[in-house]
Each structure stands twice: as structure tokens, then as C-alpha cells.
Amino acid sequence: MVNSFNYISFGNWEYIEGNVGVVTMGRGRMFEYTPPDIEKRLEGLDPTAISFLETLPTFLCSEIRSTGSVVSMLIKYGRISYTAPERKEVSTTFVTLIDFGEVVFENIETAGAVFGADRFQLYRTHWAVREGDAKEVLARLAKIKPDFADLVSQGALAPAVVGIQPPPRDKKILGVADSVESFLKLLYGSSAKEATETFFRGHMDARYELTPSLLRKWENGDWQFMPSEDRLCKELLIAHHDEFHGDQYCFDRIVRMQHYGLPTRLLDISGNPLVALFFACSGKPDELKIDGEVIVFQVSSDRVKYYDSDTVSCLANLSNLTYVQKNEIDLSLDQDAFNETNVAGKLLHHIKSEKGFFEGRIVPDDLRV
């Protein structure tokens, strides 16, 4: 596996200036622009995942700023420790080894080339684990700021551990079935939690990620479709207006878009295990040797929402926001502060277009699920 490094970025420049110490990142921004396999192995933030993160060299940066013809960002290089995941945020202690200060680039593309990042990432507060050699990034920075060349060349600043891998993925497998009978025995022989409802999903290749099509990424961690969600939805509505005319809620439209093949934030599941088994076994003749998979979801009954739920309306109408607007959402705010933000007002506008009675009090935690 190639080397990796932490890339932690904040929009507030004052947060990066001076002695930084402890930094906090919202859980919703963790591992954005991270290769999918690495993301899945780290997203639980268990002690093994935290140990991996703390072995990685770390770049702490501001979001990029364009002032006239000047493109710049603040960059520090160092290491992290005492990482503590909470329900809403992750905190870690950053120790600066090199403070590059404000780094000026010829253009945005040059800045992106230093870290192997695209312009979306440079304008996004997030914590990514990027594939690449931190020493090569440091060398590029040293070319831009030659005063740091001697410091960069010191071996003590190189990563202490090279080529370390993230923890293995932990799949809880009930067993292997080779017939409908053995499949049902596995299901009904497994223990069910009280006050839960059970749902199933089947896919023909056990290597598939359990990820809605909209949230899928390229191998380097870049979004495939997310930046274009609102535009894709609008274009499909324009092209097939009559088919969507009777849909009352945004959720209804997204369900229909899913079956048109549009990448959406929905994941098809079923309450019938045999339906899931059918999809796990379906495939072309040359794919029959590939192991399929049925995934079992046990969901607390009080978390099950229906099509007319206010929570569902809040989540579905995120599809109407532009990517820039989505990036303005700050789920770390309390309810009152969140609802005073401009982006909350824009989201509320879309919700009220289908539910005129909806009170202007969006619960930030409802957008976290």
C-alpha cells in the first residue's frame, strides 16, 4: 500500500494561525476526499483506527483564499496525538514541526498539485487521509518557500513509520448459504434485538460498498456525483416533467429518480429477505462464480421514518441545495444558531414548498443521520 498523510483543512484562517494546540473537526467532515476502502476502515474511529491516524504525518491547512491575483493558504506540518472521538466532533492535539505560514501559489491548480487535491477540496473544511508521500509534499512546498529547504531536508521530519496500513475491515458475517433453506436457517437462527425492525439488501458482489450511488467516490477519494446533485435532479425534472408532476414530496421525486437510474442519496432495501436474496443471486452467466451478499439491518423502531416524516423532508431537500450551499452547513451549531444561518433559510424554503406548515426550526442532528 502507498504511503498516506492526514490533510486537515479549516475555513477560518485564525484557527490555523499561531500556536494551534487542540483542533476539533465535525464528525460529518471526517474522511471526506479519502479513498473509499481507507474511509470504511477508519470511519468507526476505534482505538486501532486512531492509532493509525496518529502514526501519519499531518498537514494542517486553511482553505485557499483568492485576493485579486493572489492565491494563498496557511500551511503547517506536524503530527497529532491524544485524538478523542465524540458524538459530534473529533478533537486531536496538533504539534507543529514546520510552520510554513502563508504560502502563495501561481494559481489554484498549482496549489492543488502540491497536495494532489482538486479545487473542491481546497475550499472545503474537512479531514482527509490522502494517499501519497508526505516527503514529496514537503519537497514541493520547499521549492515554493526555499527558506524552509534545509528544515525539510532533515531526516527527523520524515514519517517515523513508512507504509503502515489502516486496520482491516470488520465484517460481522452470519455464515455462508448455498441454498434458500440454508439462507433462511442462518437468518432465523441469528439473535434479534428487542424493539428493532429488520430490513435486508442484496447485491451480486460481496465486494460492493454499502453506499448510495450519489455518495460513491473515485479511487482517489474524489466525489463522483455529489458536486452535481442539484443540477442532475433539475435536468431530469426538465426532461421528464410529466412523470414527476404528481409527486407531492421531494422524497417521492428522489425515489422516482432512483428508478430512472439517476445517482441519488437513497439505498434500496426490503423488508423481505427473499427479495434481497434474489438480487444477491442475480447476474450474468459469467458472473455466477462471484459471491453475492445479503446485508441485514436491525434498526431501532423509534428511528424508522416514513415518507411524510419531517426528518425525511429535511434530508430529501438537501438535494435542492448547491454543493457550495451544502458545504456551508455546520452541524456543530445548536438548534437556534443553526436556524439563523443563511443555508438553513435556503433549506427551509425548499421544505416549506412541500410542507407550508413546517416550523422554521430544523434540528441539526436530523441532517446527521
Domain match, 145 and 244 both: no
Q: Which of 111, 139, 157 is the last residue of a domain?
A: 157
Structural domain boundaries, residue 227: 211-266+305-367
Same domain (yes/no): 222, 131: no
Phi, psi of 44 (to 5 degrees): -75, -20
Domain membership of residue 128 (yes or no) is yes
- The reply to whether the predicted model has a pTM over 0.85 is no
* Alpha carbons within 13 A on the beta-carbon side of 50: 14
Give start and end residues of each alpha helix (H) in the chain.
Answer: 36-42, 47-55, 108-115, 119-122, 134-144, 149-153, 180-189, 229-239, 241-244, 250-259, 273-281, 310-316, 323-327, 335-339, 342-354
For the segment 26-77, what is each residue's pLDDT rounded down to a tens digit?
Answer: 888 899 889 888 898 898 899 999 999 999 999 999 999 888 778 899 999 9
User: Do 137 and 248 belong to one domain?
Assistant: no
pLDDT of residue 271: 92
Contacts of 192 (CB under 8 A, 6+ apart): 198, 298
On whether both 227 and 318 belong to a single domain, the answer is yes
Q: Which of 157, 188, 203 is the last residue of a domain?
A: 157
Each residue of 217-232: pLDDT tens digit?
888 788 889 999 999 9
Q: What pLDDT shows up at residue 289?
A: 82
Question: Does a structural domain hold residue 200?
Answer: no
pLDDT of 1: 45
pLDDT per residue of the chain (369 residues) written in tens, 0 to 9: 468 899 999 988 888 988 888 999 988 889 988 988 889 889 889 999 999 999 999 999 999 988 877 889 999 999 999 999 998 899 999 999 999 999 999 888 888 899 988 878 888 889 999 988 898 999 999 999 999 888 888 754 544 555 567 777 777 888 899 899 999 999 888 877 777 889 999 999 888 888 899 988 888 788 889 999 999 999 999 989 888 988 999 999 999 999 889 999 999 999 999 999 999 988 777 777 888 999 999 888 888 999 889 999 999 999 999 998 998 888 888 899 999 999 999 999 999 999 988 888 899 888 875
Q: Is residue 199 assigned to a domain? A: no
215 plus 317 within the same structural domain: yes
236 and 360 in a single domain? The answer is yes
Identify whether residues 353 and 257 lie together within a single domain.
yes
The number of folded domains in the chain is 2
Distance CA 8, CA 23 (A): 9
Whether 74 and 217 map to the same domain: the answer is no
Q: Are residues 221 and 153 in the same domain?
A: no
